[in-house]
Amino acid sequence: METNYETIVGLEIHVQILTHSKAFSMDGNSFANQANANAGVITLAHPGTLPKMNIDHLHKAVLLGMAFGSNISKKHFFDRKHYFYPDLPKGYQITQDKMPYCTDGTIRFISEGIEKSIRIHHIHMEEDAGKSIHDQHASTLVDFNRAGVPLLEIVTEPDFRSGQEVSDFLAELRKTVQYLGISDGNMEEGSFRCDCNVSVRKKGVQTLGERNEIKNVNSRRFAKNAIDYEAKRQIAIIENGGIIQKTTLLYDPVLNETRSMRKKESENDYRYFPEPDLPPVLIDEIFLKKIAQKLVALPIDRYYKLVNDYKLSSADAIFLTEEKAWTELYFLLASHSDQYKLIAELLVQKILPYLNLIKKEISIFKDPLLLLRFVELLQNGKIAKSAAYQHVFPVWIDDISQNPEDIAQNLELIQSDNQDFLDAIIAQVIIANQDKVTAYKKGKTGLLGFFMGQVMQISGGKADPNTLKSKMEAALGK
| pLDDT tens by residue, 348-370 | 999 999 999 999 999 999 999 99
> What one-letter code names the amino acid at 452?
M
Dihedral angle computed from the Cα positions of residues 196, 197, 199 and 204, in that order, rounded to the nearest 10 degrees: -100
> 214 and 201 in contact (C-beta within 8 Å)?
no
User: Residue 418: its pLDDT value, please?
Assistant: 54
Per-residue pLDDT band for 2 (boundaries 50, 70, 90) equals low
User: Residue 265: its pLDDT value, please?
Assistant: 52
Compute the mean pLDDT over every residue in the chain, rounded to the nearest whole number.
Answer: 91
User: Residue 416: its pLDDT value, please?
Assistant: 60
The answer to which of 31-40, 232-241, 320-329 has the lowest mean pLDDT is 31-40
Share of the chain above pLDDT 70, in %: 96
> 119 and 11 in contact (C-beta within 8 Å)?
no
User: Residue 454: its pLDDT value, please?
Assistant: 86
The answer to which of 154-163, 203-212, 224-233, 411-420 has the lowest mean pLDDT is 411-420
Greater pLDDT, 214 or 474: 214
Average pLDDT over residues 106-127: 96
Phi first, then psi: give them for residue 310, nearest 5 degrees.
-110, 0
Cα–Cα distance, 56 to 423 (Å, whole number) = 70
Note the Cα 258 to chain centre separation in Å: 25
pTM score: 0.85
Element (H, E) at 221: helix 220-239
User: Residue 438: its pLDDT value, please?
Assistant: 84
Greater pLDDT, 381 or 239: 239
> 418 and 463 in contact (C-beta within 8 Å)?
no
Chain region(s) in the chain for CATH 1.10.10: 422-476
Q: Residue 374 pLDDT more than 70?
A: yes
Q: Residue 300 pLDDT more than 80?
A: yes
Handedness of CA 258, 261, 267, 270 (dihedral sign): negative
Greater pLDDT, 462 or 10: 10
**Using alpha carbons only, how large is the chain's radius of gyration in Å?**
29
| pLDDT tens by residue, 256-295 | 999 887 665 555 578 899 999 999 999 999 999 999 999 9
Collect all residues with Cβ–Cβ distance below 8 Å to 118 and sequence separation of at least 6: 106, 107, 108, 109, 156, 157, 159, 160, 169
| pLDDT tens by residue, 48-105 | 999 999 999 999 999 999 999 999 999 999 999 998 888 899 999 999 998 999 999 9
> What one-letter code names the amino acid at 86?
P
| pLDDT tens by residue, 408-439 | 889 877 766 556 677 888 888 888 888 888 88
Question: What is the secondary structure of 359-426 as a DSSP string?
Answer: T--GGG-SSGGGGHHHHHHHHH-SS-HHHIIIIIHHHHTT-TTS-HHHHHHHTT-PPPS--TTHHHHH
User: Residue 73: its pLDDT value, please?
Assistant: 96
| pLDDT tens by residue, 230-262 | 999 999 999 999 999 999 999 999 999 998 876
> 145 and 33 in contact (C-beta within 8 Å)?
yes
Per-residue pLDDT band for 478 (boundaries 50, 70, 90) equals low
Cα–Cα distance, 292 to 391 (Å, whole number) = 48
Cα–Cα distance, 199 to 296 (Å, whole number) = 36
User: Residue 335: its pLDDT value, please?
Assistant: 97
CATH class as words, domain 422-476: mainly alpha
Handedness of CA 313, 315, 318, 323 (dihedral sign): negative
Q: Which of 195, 170, 168 is nearest to 183 (CA)?
A: 170
Per-residue pLDDT band for 319 (boundaries 50, 70, 90) equals very high
> What one-letter code names the amino acid at 378?
L
User: Residue 444: its pLDDT value, please?
Assistant: 85
User: Residue 61: its pLDDT value, please?
Assistant: 97
